[in-house]
Amino acid sequence: MQAFKRFASNVPYQFRSVIYSSHSLEDATSVLSVHRYTPKVDPENSVVARTLAFPINPSDINQLQGVYPSKPEKTLNYGTKDPAAIAGNEGVFEVLSVPPNEKSLKVGDWVIPLYANQGTWSDHRIFHNASDLIKVNGLDLHTAGTVGVNGVTAYQLVHDYINWSTGGNEWLVQNAGTSGVSKIVTQVAKIADIKTLSVIRDRENFDQVAKTLEDKFGATKVISESQNNDKVFGKQVLPTILGDNARVRLALNSVGGRSSSAIARKLENDALLLTYGGMSKQPVTLPTSLHIFKGLTSKGFWVTESCRREPQKKVDAVNALVELYKGGKLTSPKDETITNYVDPSASDQELLEVIKNGINSPGKQVVVFKW
Amino acid sequence: MQAFKRFASNVPYQFRSVIYSSHSLEDATSVLSVHRYTPKVDPENSVVARTLAFPINPSDINQLQGVYPSKPEKTLNYGTKDPAAIAGNEGVFEVLSVPPNEKSLKVGDWVIPLYANQGTWSDHRIFHNASDLIKVNGLDLHTAGTVGVNGVTAYQLVHDYINWSTGGNEWLVQNAGTSGVSKIVTQVAKIADIKTLSVIRDRENFDQVAKTLEDKFGATKVISESQNNDKVFGKQVLPTILGDNARVRLALNSVGGRSSSAIARKLENDALLLTYGGMSKQPVTLPTSLHIFKGLTSKGFWVTESCRREPQKKVDAVNALVELYKGGKLTSPKDETITNYVDPSASDQELLEVIKNGINSPGKQVVVFKW
């Protein structure tokens, strides 16, 4: 404990984390427990931070189920009997203590982890390398807590693949137009002078949802999956929507199945279909002719792997997004999320219940510690 | 006719071509007619050649049906009432006359057209630019007449996408393992020390067909579509086939549907699925996870468009193939083709019948003029 005394007085003696040692496909919540432990610290290098908020992402749940291809190493570092990992991959933290010679961070900074698998469902965390943290000062809690996955995914999808022309009639087409990522895509694209054709499922209040996407988020045009799949629409109506000299070089797919074929058909020759999700559970389905005669390329995007290979792209994306949010150019995802508040002094059982409830509830769930 | 007299005496006054002015999806043969005409020549530039052989490719028939995305311009150059095009895209020709200062070609050379849409179903042709011809001296008729599409496709599929390591345990996987292109892929790959896993349809004489592909064409291993689709096979048997440190970076798809998913699943991370055909008429079907988590890229290959953009790649491929055939390293496709002999003095009706019969018959049809 000698070393520990060098930390500020606001660093508690014990941390509390939501951990797991095994997996369950049937009930992901069953593998979770709350664990208290005295963290191992290295005062020369450790950044200590308290957790402000973390989302419960589908990938976090898939990790608990044991079906996600990226996973944290389970260790005995937390003093558990069996090797364990802290759940969660995303979250925003407030710096409580920095190593003596650390210049890039200071106490009070808000940070998010650069890499996945750091474990975020915890009241405090220790980060052993300040360069594995990205500063997000100036954002609201919900934005900061979710910018590292949804925000970065949207930003990289828009900016990392197409060399957009300035002043051209450039479009991107995307399905799942109401999803969190799609809404950020829409806004990021608009800022870059790229128009969006957003496809959403048919629904009774289609006009109202479309109007919100267009007015609040800046979608250029919202169409339904029926229209997306309608060849007459594609031939006769779509050109009037796109206008003269339109270029459609990028399609973003997070649905699969017929929806993926239909957005791919709207692309010009030699264009790119980027898949980053598969909500319909149907495979990406591409008419052979699109590949052979229209030169279509189909690829995937996974923010975890992208960051592992090119971490600077994520840093750049976060920095760009922070500036856009601070400048009021992007809308906070707060309205799109369900907030689960936790008192840091809540019992272990209460903390666990909040998280289990979040896992089992629909919508984008964010857990916020009320420090 | 002044100009015409400068040609050699073996250049006839009249040419005879199989032409079309309209299209028919129902009966492609119905739009064809045999047309006799005096060709327009430019003795300073024209290469005159007589046709030795041409294949009837599916794409030729699709052009007659009006459903192929690449098509020749219809012109009045042949003295027809309506604008017409000469059918056919591939063939081998013997040079009868070359322009005065032409150094690259000489009388008697065998040549194939570099580009598609030149019109090859004709007893003679005039080529206005010697650089649009590729010399194929030393090949047999069937090889020369088909090397420009099947041969070049196979060669480019193997060589233009992967930077193969030498001495490694490198594999490619392909479906439709009995097709003409696949057999050339198999041989070209083997010469380059790349192993092939060839998938063929289930059939009663599977063992016999597999043995031929392995013994005659050099396929490393032939498996059935049932095995291709069997996940237990993929997990337990396939690794023993591939051996230690196997790399599987390229899958070649000319089938689509489940077969395309199954060969894509056999690829390592960050690999490439190249689609160049769609025999099953099913779309290319790719589990979302292959794109997102395994970094799969899916693209198409079309020899026509590849040549339009990078003609030198086709020239290089033909030159390499000619050397391999002449060196006895590749098996002539003659055994795989059905030969339709035509006497050049046959009546127009007879000539047309041979071609119509070829269009309506199964198997790879090649028409050979018996000069």
Specify whether A68 is catalytic.
yes
Of the candidates A265, A285, A305, which is a domain's last residue? A305
Residues A121, A55 contacting (CB under 8 angstroms): no
Same domain, B230 and B193: yes
With an 8 Å Cβ cutoff, are B300 and A277 in contact? no
DSSP code, position B122: B
Same domain, A346 and A271: no
Assigned domain for B278 exists: yes
Predicted local confidence at residue B13, as pLDDT = 86
The domain total for chain A is 2
What residue in B sits closest to A291 (Cα-Cα)?
Answer: B300
Average pLDDT score over residue span A328-344: 95
- In a mutational test of the B interface, the residue from A259, A298, A305, A309 whose CB has the highest number of chain B CBs within 10 Å is A298
The complex's ipTM works out to 0.95
What residue in B sits closest to A301 (Cα-Cα)?
Answer: B292
Could you give the CA distance from residue B353 to residue B341 in angstroms, rounded to a whole number? 12
Which residues are A174's β-sheet partners?
Answer: A198, A252
Could you give the CA distance from residue A107 to residue A137 in angstroms, rounded to a whole number? 12
Coil vs helix vs strand at A257: helix
Could you give the CA distance from residue B354 to residue B367 in angstroms, rounded to a whole number? 8
Could you give the CA distance from residue A342 to residue A365 in angstroms, rounded to a whole number? 13
Same domain, A256 and A360: no
With an 8 Å Cβ cutoff, are B291 and A285 in contact? no
Same domain, B95 and B180: no
Assigned domain for B128 exists: yes
Q: Is A298 on the interface with B (CB under 8 A)?
A: yes
Same domain, B203 and B263: yes
Looking at the predicted structure, is the pLDDT value of residue B319 above 70? Answer: yes
With an 8 Å Cβ cutoff, are A292 and B283 in contact? no
Of the candidates B269, B289, B305, which is a domain's last residue? B305
From the list B68, B78, B276, B325, the catalytic residue is B68
Residue among B119, B180, B155 at smallest CA distance from B338: B180
What residue in A sits closest to B287 (Cα-Cα)?
Answer: A283
Residue among B250, B257, B253 at smallest CA distance from B296: B250
Average pLDDT score over residue span A220-235: 98
Same domain, A158 and A294: yes
With an 8 Å Cβ cutoff, are A300 and B283 in contact? no
Looking at the predicted structure, is the pLDDT value of residue A8 above 80? Answer: no
Could you give the CA distance from residue B18 to residue A151 in angstroms, rounded to a whole number? 60
Same domain, B339 and B294: no
What's the number of CA atoms in the CB half-sphere (13 Å) around residue B271?
22
As given in the structure block, the two tokens for residue A98 are: 């920095």
Q: Long-range contacts made by residues A61-64, C-beta under 8 angstroms, separation at least 24?
A: A61/A28, A61/A359, A63/A87, A63/A89, A64/A20, A64/A23, A64/A24, A64/A28, A64/A29, A64/A31, A64/A32, A64/A359
Predicted local confidence at residue B4, as pLDDT = 47
Tell me the shortest Cα–Cα distance from A129 to chain B, in angstroms: 27
Q: What angle do CA B4, B10, B11 make, to 5 degrees?
A: 35
Residues B50, B64 contacting (CB under 8 angstroms): no
Q: From start to end of B318-363, where are the E strands?
A: 337-342
A123 burial (CB, 10 Å; 0-12 / 13-18 / 19+) is buried
Residue among B334, B35, B23, B357 at smallest CA distance from B180: B334
CATH, residue A188: 3.40.50.720
Assigned domain for B42 exists: yes
Looking at the predicted structure, is the pLDDT value of residue B253 above 60? Answer: yes
Residues A265, A290 contacting (CB under 8 angstroms): yes
Chain B residues whose beta carbon lies within 8 Å of the beta carbon of residue A275: 288, 291-292
Predicted local confidence at residue B245, as pLDDT = 97
Same domain, B223 and B156: yes
Same domain, B291 and B158: yes
Assigned domain for A12 exists: yes
Predicted local confidence at residue B103, as pLDDT = 92
Same domain, B115 and B177: no
Q: Per-residue DSSP letters for A18-50? A: EEESS--SS-GGGG-EEEEEPPP--TTTPEEEE
Tell me the shortest Cα–Cα distance from B198 to chain A, in angstroms: 20
Residue-wise pLDDT for B61-85, tens only, equals 999 999 999 999 999 999 999 999 9
Same domain, B205 and B283: yes
Tell me the shortest Cα–Cα distance from A295 to chain B, in angstroms: 6
What residue in B sits closest to A276 (Cα-Cα)?
Answer: B292
CA B232 distance to own-chain centroid: 36
Residue-wise pLDDT for B145-171, tens only, equals 999 999 999 999 999 999 999 999 999
CATH, residue B112: 3.90.180.10
DSSP code, position B55: E
With an 8 Å Cβ cutoff, are A291 and B277 in contact? no
Q: Which residue has the tokens 């017929």?
A: A258
- Please state, rounded to an integer, the average pLDDT across all residues of chain B: 95
Chain A residues whose beta carbon lies within 8 Å of the beta carbon of residue B277: 288, 292
Assigned domain for B121 exists: yes
Question: Range with the lowest mean pLDDT among A40-49, A72-81, A148-157?
Answer: A40-49
Q: Is A161 on the interface with B (CB under 8 A)?
A: no
Chain B residues whose beta carbon lies within 8 Å of the beta carbon of residue A305: 293, 295
Q: Which residue has the tokens 């203590």?
A: A97
Cβ contacts from A onto B, under 8 A: 94
Could you give the CA distance from residue B280 to residue A82 in angstroms, rounded to a whole number? 51
Per the structure, the complete domain to which residue A279 belongs is given by 150-305
Assigned domain for B320 exists: no
Predicted local confidence at residue B305, as pLDDT = 97
Assigned domain for A51 exists: yes
Which residues are B304's β-sheet partners?
Answer: none
Assigned domain for B17 exists: yes
- In a mutational test of the B interface, the residue from A153, A284, A293, A306 whose CB has the highest number of chain B CBs within 10 Å is A284
Same domain, B172 and B133: no
Chain B residues whose beta carbon lies within 8 Å of the beta carbon of residue A295: 299-300, 302, 305
Predicted local confidence at residue B3, as pLDDT = 45
Residues B182, B254 contacting (CB under 8 angstroms): yes
Could you give the CA distance from residue B120 to residue B130 in angstroms, rounded to a whole number? 16
Average pLDDT score over residue span B353-366: 96
Phi, psi of B70 (to 5 degrees): -110, 135
Residue-wise pLDDT for B11-29, tens only, equals 888 999 999 999 999 999 9
Q: Is B298 on the interface with A (CB under 8 A)?
A: yes
